[in-house]
Structure 1
Amino acid sequence: MKRLINRKNFLRINAITLGSVFVLILVGSIVRVMGAGMGCPDWPKCFGSYVPPITAEGLPANYQDIFREQRITKNERLARLFNSLGYEELSKKITEDPAVLVEQEFDVTKAWIEYVNRLVGVLIGFLVFLNMIFAFAFRSRSKWIPFMGVMIFVLTGFQGWVGSLVVSTNLLHGFITFHMLLALVIVAMLIWMNVRVRELSIYPDKNLFIVSLLTTLLFIPQLILGTEVRGVIDDLLISTIGRSEWSQSLSDSFYIHRSYSWLILIGAVAIFYYARKTEQVWVINLSMRLVFLVFLAMIAGIGMVRFDFPVWLQPLHLILAVGIFSYLFYLTLRLKFVK
């Protein structure tokens, strides 16, 4: 067993887990652009079964009413919880927003798309568990390594619960945003474990560290703005407005998101400028990739507006944004300034 749990195998499990989280984010984005978020109206089952039905023939005639009542009951419990915590407005929205009570008709394609999304989530749960078990082999090196492994495992379970709330509240935007940000927290923690276990050297460069840290902090609001824009697009997806008219129906958050991207590009270019002064090959190469990713993400964003929001371009835009965050966090971690 000791031969199995070693640094090489841990890093392999950690990398696979990190990659699978990227896949889950990508699949989740595809679910949203396909309008399949409510393909399964219940959780963790799908139409009361662990495997989605192929046709609606086996479902009761009033299946929409049945699953609506189930969600209403769950939402009432959730509303009481938030009300007790002082979030009265959110509590009211969960129980009274008409959009929350809308029940979709059975669609076999959407049901199976959402089902695959959940299967990927289950797979990640097993990988996160292995990541935690392997992390305990490095407790003598640092107590934070196994602690981080446990926290990732706990957060993954919590993420699954948040996913159930996304379903029960009929894709309420606030829960979707929180769901996305929590996934990025898990990504950041996995990257930290990778750097710590590999014992990668921390390269002390104060100026580069400050620029990298500021760009990382600036990028977090950009991600939040992006999720708000996606929320508006989700509403347009189920509206009667044609895709060619979506660009005229976007909220102010879109224009802020679009302009804000120039700050991120400036930050990435500044990182590359200071990276060249270090003469460290890995820093220069990583900063070049970062500038390239930011540029691609901006092109993808422009392409969505210019070409009426094609389905394939939206998930690409999201996964590029997650890649940018990962690069920024990894670089900032490696550049931690040490007096």
Structure 2
Amino acid sequence: MKYGKWFVRVNWITLVFIFLVVIAGSFVRITGSGMGCPDWPKCFGQWVPPTNGDNLPENYKGIYSEKRAKKVEKFSNMLSAIGLEESAEKIRNDKSILYEQDFNARKTWTEYVNRLFGFLAGNGVLLVFLWIIAKYRQRKLVVIATVNLIFLLFQAWFGSIVVATNLVPWTITVHLLFALIIIGLQLYIIRLVAPSQQRNIKVSKSFYALVFFVFVVVFAQMFLGTQVREEIDHLTKAGIGREGWAENLGMIFFIHRSSSWLVLILMAVMFWISRKTKDLRIIHWAFVMLAIELLSGVILNHFNVPGLVQTAHLLFACILFGILMMATFRLKTREIA
């Protein structure tokens, strides 16, 4: 089936917005702006947040703390219902969750811009879903678009939980992992509808296995990266400043850092095998993204984890993840005579 140019463009634009949400979320985190809006989906009860605290009631901290307490209790009960009693009790007993920050216009608007990107990405996913239902109705597309929309709605709801629990570290990790799933589903839709992505690339079984293995390792690396970020959160709460992060990070950081060299070696092998094959430029781009990603990792390790480099590190990791996922979609094994 041939798909319209604008339909294909909307899918690519939606993918860009999803990436922007991930990057904006990282920027929110490194600037400490995650609680810039204490409620969700509105910000201080408004669709356009205030620019100064004079527009807020005197007891606004108490108001939002009380609302948060109710939402946290509901979420804790849900965790208990699915067998996560230990996590539920930790959240119930963590009184810092109910702490309200002073109003800060910069942090409020940083978080608000993050939500605007989320709004645009969400509407893009919804538009793609409605477009498919109204015009194309191809079974596989309908299923993938429906699943993507469901995940997006869950992600939006879980975003409210992240806010309600005052950025409990593991909730932020889950939030990022679901974002990667949404990216993967959107890439698969693009694979099905974009002419540039529909042509298969024939490779040997061993090369495909290598690409798939690297993709799995990169995904695991991203998960380990979120665990490292959680460790940084714990160090920050313990009063350890940025200059002491690198030397106080534990085994997870060591594994994350060491595994990156395994990925580099495997990607170098992939690049060498594919260096003269034009059809495998997707592998060349993956190698370039990995090189930049490793450079940013070295800077993080040796220069006390500068904030903007953290965001760049996540950006290139997500791009590398996307390229390798698209490669697993397009590469097909060929029989060797």
TM band (smaller chain):
over 0.9
Partners of 1:292 and 1:264 lie apart in 2 by: 13
SS of residue paired to 1:336: strand
Residue pair 1:52, 1:111 contacting (<8 A) in 2 also? yes
Question: Bigger CA drift: 236-245 or 285-294?
Answer: 236-245
Match of 2:87 in 1: 90
Counterpart in 1 of 2:200?
A: 202
Give the letter for the 1:267 counterpart. L
| Cα separation, partners in 2 of 1:38 and 1:239, compared to 1, 3 Å | farther
- Secondary structure at the residue paired with 2:209? helix
Question: What are the Cα deviations for residues 22-61 of structure 1, in whole angstroms up to 9, with x where unaligned?
Answer: 1111111100000000111111121222222222223233
Partner of 1:190: 186
DSSP 3-state at the match of 1:61:
coil
Query: Which amino acid in 2 is paired with 1:138?
Result: Y
Q: Residues of 2 paired with 1:118 and 1:155: CA distance? A: 17
Q: Tell me which residue corresponds to 1:120.
A: 117
Q: Return 263-272 or 8-17, whichever deviates more.
A: 263-272
Determine the structure 2 residue equivalent to 1:7. Answer: 4
- Map of 1:40 onto structure 2: 37
Partner of 1:16 in structure 2? 13
Structure 2 residue runs without a partner (length 5+): none
> How much identity, in percent, do the aligned residues show?
36
Partners of 2:257 and 2:59 in 1: how far apart? 44
Give runs of aligned pairs for residues 161-310 of structure 1, distance below 5 A. 161-198=157-194, 200-205=198-203, 206-237=205-236, 240-276=239-275, 280-283=277-280, 285-310=281-306
Q: Would the alpha carbon gap of residues 143 and 82 (structure 1) be closer, same or farther in structure 2, given more than 3 Å must change?
A: same
Q: Distance in 2 between matches of 1:241 and 1:71?
A: 28
CA deviation vs aligned residue, 1:268-322 (integer Å, no higher than 9, x gap): 123223324xx53031x22222112112111101101222222211100000000
Select between 308-317 and 194-203 the one with higher mean Cα deviation: 194-203
Q: Once the 2 structures are TM-superposed, how far is the Cα of residue 238 of structure 1 from its aligned partner?
A: 5.7
Q: What TM-score does the superposition give when structure 1 sets the normalisation length?
A: 0.92
Letter in 1 for 2:200: I
User: Which blocks of at least 5 consecutive residues in structure 1 are unaligned?
Assistant: none
Are 1:144 and 2:140 counterparts?
Answer: yes
Shift of 1:21: 0.8
Runs of 4+ aligned residues of structure 1 deviating over 6 Å after TM superposition are none
| Contact 2:155/2:175, CA 8 A, preserved across alignment | yes
Partner residue in 1 for 2:149: 153
- Which stretch has the larger CA shift, 128-137 or 180-189? 128-137
Task: Confirm or deny: 8 A CA contact 2:3 2:193 kept in the other structure.
Answer: no
Q: Kindly indicate whether the alpha-carbon contact (under 8 Å) linking 2:169 and 2:233 is maintained by their aligned counterparts in 1.
A: no
Deviation at 1:133, TM superposition (A): 2.4
Residues 296, 78 of structure 1: alpha-carbon distance in 2 compared, 3 angstrom cutoff: same
Q: CA RMSD in A?
A: 1.9
3-state DSSP class of the match of 1:312?
Answer: helix
Give the count of matched residue pairs.
330
The one-letter amino acid of 1:187's match is I
